[in-house]
């Protein structure tokens, strides 16, 4: 097992691409198929508008988010289909990762810190209940921090500081595992130890070698 993991008293886990497998490109490809027009241009404009980040801090709610995309795509794709496509990026959670989270919660203080949104969390919670008979994400950690409920998202240092302060954590005793270099950099600046999950590295390989 990684030495950083062994030494850490507290572990903060990211969600997407760390716990749940995701393929964001699947969403883009599905919209390209559904929309009869230049989706690349539409997507570029949507990104520039900040709608995706705004949704992750619930500056806009789910209905407003779906409506914005509906209007941007000239009402060619209905709201229900937009939601279905939006969820296509969410894949599976290997059982081994659930077992890792359960084990780590027994021996360390564990937290989830995710940039996410209401629609995705509803789908993930349903998946966890159906697949593992666990009602939602919360029982897998001591505390869960979701951007859309907090109104702040990574890499803003405020979200990391909130976790440290609320739980009286010492940064040097705390490990953050994430797939984003930008998020890792912010945590490092606060003195939090980090593991950048990239290059084929997974929770399974981290916790079993």
- Rounded average pLDDT over 29-52: 97
The pLDDT-based confidence of 160 (bands split at 50, 70, 90) is very high
Residue-wise pLDDT for 79-97, tens only, equals: 999 999 999 999 999 999 9
More confident: 209 or 58? 58
Give the pLDDT score at 20.
98
Give the pLDDT score at 190.
98
The pLDDT-based confidence of 113 (bands split at 50, 70, 90) is very high
Q: Which long-range contacts (CB under 8 A, 24 or more apart) does 49-58 make?
A: 53/153, 55/117, 55/148, 56/115, 56/116, 56/117, 56/147, 56/148, 56/153, 57/147, 57/148, 57/150, 57/151, 57/152, 57/153, 58/117, 58/118, 58/148, 58/149, 58/151
Percent of the chain with pLDDT over 70: 99
Task: Say what the pTM is.
Answer: 0.96
Give the pLDDT score at 209.
57
Give the pLDDT score at 6.
94
């Amino acid at each position: 097992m990684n030495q950083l993991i062994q030494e850490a008293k507290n572990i903060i886990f990211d969600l997407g691409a760390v716990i749940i497998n995701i393929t964001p490109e699947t969403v883009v490809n599905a919209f390209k198929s559904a929309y009869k027009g230049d989706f690349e241009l539409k997507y570029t404009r949507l990104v520039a508008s900040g709608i995706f980040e705004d949704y992750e801090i619930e500056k806009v709610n789910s209905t407003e988010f779906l409506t914005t995309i509906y209007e941007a795509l000239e009402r060619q794709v209905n709201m229900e289909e937009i939601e279905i496509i939006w969820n296509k990026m969410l894949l599976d959670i290997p059982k081994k990762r659930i077992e890792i989270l359960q084990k780590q919660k027994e021996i360390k203080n564990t937290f989830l810190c995710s940039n996410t949104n209401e629609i995705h969390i509803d789908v993930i919670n349903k998946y966890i209940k159906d697949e593992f008979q666990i009602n939602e994400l919360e029982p897998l950690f001591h505390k869960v921090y979701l951007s859309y409920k907090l109104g702040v998202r990574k890499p803003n240092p405020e979200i990391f500081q909130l976790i440290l302060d609320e739980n009286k954590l010492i940064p040097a005793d705390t490990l953050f595992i994430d797939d984003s270099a930008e998020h890792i950099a912010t945590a490092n600046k606060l003195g939090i130890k980090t593991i950048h999950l990239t290059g084929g590295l997974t929770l399974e390989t981290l916790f079993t070698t």
